């Protein structure tokens, strides 16, 4: 077999082979699709799947002094599960993110509804107005809240200047509430778009049917519009919840010791404590906590929806 490949085959065979390969590529849409996709898939595999795989392996190693012990062990995970302060921090991060998610989605829904149903012309202008803050520097948006809520910040100095207060309010910055407000503001725009899309593509004749059958506007909203927009709401919730749990900038800038989240601890493991394996395990546990909570929320909405229908 190999000798056949090595000795140059007659030109006709190569030509025929080329036609066959070309033909296969031309006819097989799947193959052509994957050829176009291959550079992107390579980036995804090399810069996401591979590193996350290495992260998982790393979490099974242990740090002993400056050396890494390469024996596979669950020691890091046991350390995390047995240390209440770590588990509490993860729990608190999830709780803060859930609060942020709830606030963001509740605030976003009316806007999405407004743009989908009340705006007849210039929808694009509104959509662009919503997209702009989402793409502008996250760091600067969070930083803005630090100078607003600070001890000598904009609110305190403003109120003092107006004579409303004598002493700066201390409850504004450096607590979980500041983190929730800042995150809810920073992630607000991303929640609007999925809800808007689900409302926009809704079949309007269903609304007319509901009205014709005697539903009041409120009944119509609760029985038709809201249930049909739930997929958008769930998508919005996930888009806000998943990234915020591990957020580093916001707790660092406005959280203070009370508003600390798991992102700060992960960072500390890598740049201060220099325990990379433990930091990796922490990242994996946080990712698991995010996944489990997301699946839980998704399951509960699904149940609620099925019961309603």
Partner 1 sequence: MKFQLPSWMRGGGLTTYAVLYMVFLYVPVLFLPLFSFNDGIYIAFPLKGFTVKWYEAMIETESLQAALFNSIRVAASVSIISTILGVLAARAFTRYRFVGRKPTLGLLALPLVVPGIILGIALLIMANRLGIPLSLFTIGAAHVLIATPFATFVMISRLEGFDSNLEEASRDLGETGWTTFWRVTFPLALPGIVASLLLTFIESFDEFILAFFLSGTDATLPIYIWSQLRFPKRLPVVLALGACILLFTVITVAFAEWVRRKGVKLTPKSED
Per CB under 8 A, which of residues 255..294 are in contact with partner 1?
263, 266-267, 270, 276, 279-280, 283, 286-287, 290
- Residue 213's SS3 state is coil
Q: Name which of 188 and 210 has its Cβ closer to partner 1.
A: 188
Asked if 118 is part of the footprint of partner 1 (rule: CB under 8 A), the reply reads yes
Q: Nearest distance from residue 2's CB to partner 1, in Å?
A: 32
Q: Name which of 230 and 249 has its Cβ closer to partner 1.
A: 249
Site for partner 1 in 39-68 (CB under 8 A): 39-41, 43-44, 47-48, 50-52, 54-55, 58
Q: Nearest distance from residue 119's CB to partner 1, in Å?
A: 5
Let me know: does 187 contact 240? Beta carbons within 8 Å: yes
Asked if 238 is part of the footprint of partner 1 (rule: CB under 8 A), the reply reads yes
Asked if 121 is part of the footprint of partner 1 (rule: CB under 8 A), the reply reads yes
Site for partner 1 in 69-88 (CB under 8 A): none
Let me know: does 202 contact 228? Beta carbons within 8 Å: yes
User: What values do phi and psi take at 68, rounded to 5?
Assistant: -105, 125
Site for partner 1 in 204-223 (CB under 8 A): none
Asked if 144 is part of the footprint of partner 1 (rule: CB under 8 A), the reply reads yes
Closest CA to 189 of 106, 114, 267, 104: 104
- Side-chain-facing half-sphere of 203: CA atoms under 13 Å: 5
Asked if 133 is part of the footprint of partner 1 (rule: CB under 8 A), the reply reads yes
Closest CA to 237 of 158, 184, 276: 184
- Residue 273's SS3 state is coil
Q: Which of 75, 243, 275, 297 binds partner 1 (CB under 8 A)?
A: 243
d(CA 116, CA 199): 6
Asked if 34 is part of the footprint of partner 1 (rule: CB under 8 A), the reply reads yes
Q: Which of 89, 185, 191, 225 binds partner 1 (CB under 8 A)?
A: 185
Asked if 152 is part of the footprint of partner 1 (rule: CB under 8 A), the reply reads yes
**Which residue blocks in the chain are alpha helix, DSSP H?**
2-6, 11-27, 29-44, 50-58, 75-82, 84-113, 123-135, 138-149, 154-161, 176-200, 204-212, 217-220, 226-245, 249-250, 262-271, 276-308
d(CA 92, CA 105): 20
Q: Name which of 21 and 129 has its Cβ closer to partner 1.
A: 129
Q: Nearest distance from residue 268's CB to partner 1, in Å?
A: 12
Per-residue burial over 34-48, b = 16 or more CB atoms within 10 Å of its CB, e = otherwise: eeeeeeeeeeeeeee
d(CA 266, CA 258): 17
Q: Name which of 115 and 224 has its Cβ closer to partner 1.
A: 115
Q: Nearest distance from residue 30's CB to partner 1, in Å?
A: 3
Size, binding site for partner 1 by CB under 8 A: 90
Asked if 113 is part of the footprint of partner 1 (rule: CB under 8 A), the reply reads yes
């Amino acid at each position: 077999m190999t000798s056949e490949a090595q000795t140059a085959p007659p030109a006709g065979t190569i030509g025929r082979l080329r036609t066959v390969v070309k033909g296969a590529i031309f006819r097989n849409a799947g193959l052509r699709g994957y050829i176009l996709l291959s550079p992107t898939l390579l980036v995804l595999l090399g810069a996401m799947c591979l590193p996350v795989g290495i992260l998982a392996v790393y979490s099974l190693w242990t740090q002993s002094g400056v050396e890494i012990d390469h024996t596979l062990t669950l020691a890091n995970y046991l350390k995390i599960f047995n240390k209440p302060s770590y588990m509490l921090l993860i729990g608190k991060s999830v709780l803060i993110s859930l609060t942020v998610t709830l606030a963001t989605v509740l605030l976003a829904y009316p806007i999405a509804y407004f743009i989908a149903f009340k705006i007849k012309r210039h929808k694009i202008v509104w959509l662009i107005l919503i997209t702009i803050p989402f793409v502008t520097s996250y760091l600067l948006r969070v930083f803005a809240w630090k100078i607003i809520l600070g001890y000598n910040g904009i609110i305190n100095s403003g109120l003092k200047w107006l004579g409303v207060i004598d002493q700066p309010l201390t409850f504004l910055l450096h607590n979980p509430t500041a983190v929730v407000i800042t995150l809810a503001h920073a992630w607000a725009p991303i929640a609007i778009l999925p809800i808007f899309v689900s409302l926009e593509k809704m079949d309007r004749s269903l609304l007319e049917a509901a009205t014709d059958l005697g539903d009041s506007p409120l009944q119509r909203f609760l029985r038709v519009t809201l249930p049909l927009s739930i997929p958008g709401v769930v998508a919005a919730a996930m888009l806000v919840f998943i990234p915020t749990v591990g957020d580093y900038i916001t707790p660092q800038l406005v959280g203070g010791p009370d508003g600390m989240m798991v992102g700060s601890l992960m960072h500390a493991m890598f740049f201060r404590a220099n325990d990379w394996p433990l930091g990796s395990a922490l990242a994996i546990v946080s990712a698991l906590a995010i996944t489990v909570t997301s699946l839980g929320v998704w399951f509960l909405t699904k149940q609620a929806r099925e019961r309603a229908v």
